[in-house]
Amino acid sequence: MSIDDDMRKQWADAKDEKERSEALLATSQSALDDLSCIIDEAMEELAGLAEEYARLSLSGSFSAPLEKAIWLLEQRCKGMEEKGVGSELLAKVRGSLEQMKERLDLLRKAKEKMRGGVRKIERKVQEGARKAEEKVQESVRRAEEIQEVAWNFWEAVREKIWPGVWR
């Protein structure tokens, strides 16, 4: 984000304090609009990631209950092996166990993807805020320069018109 050429031209063409103030306000508003746009895009991306995560979350359950269920199923499978249960029943239990592990893995991947998306959004917002702050600081610096020039001009005019009156 930088001050665009139109704003520089508007600033240079300004004839008085009012026009310069308007140019300064336009620059500041542009910086705020840019930051708002970045935040809106980031919020849309975050909403999409949250929706995707919710779809993958096994109907609202999260990984902790699934991990417990896997552990219990593993214990049950070991107990069944020790008892010498039929291979067909044992195969069904192991199949269920593998499906649960796949779901848990899917949840973990979705969680990591969401975390990565949130980090990306945070970086975008921070970068946008930094750029907007730089733009506003530049506008403030220019306003201070204008104020200094105006004051020096006023001092020069006052000395020409009324020399030595206000000392």
Q: In angstroms, rounded to a whole number, what is the distance separating the alpha carbons of residues 13 and 22?
A: 12
Residue 33's identity, in one-letter code, is D
Q: Name the amino acid, one letter, at 129.
A: A
> What CATH number should be reported for the domain whose range is 5-161?
1.10.287
Whether residue 64 has pLDDT greater than 80: no
pTM of the full predicted structure? 0.45
How far apart are alpha carbons 102 and 57 in whole angstroms?
12
Instruction: Using only the alpha carbons of the chain, give its radius of gyration.
Output: 33
pLDDT of residue 87: 85
Q: How confident is the model at residue 112 (pLDDT cuts 50, 70, 90)?
A: confident
Q: What tens digit of pLDDT does each residue of 123-149 get?
A: 888 998 888 889 889 888 888 898 898
Q: Report the range of poorest mean pLDDT among 85-89, 153-157, 161-165.
A: 161-165
pLDDT at 1 > cutoff 50: no
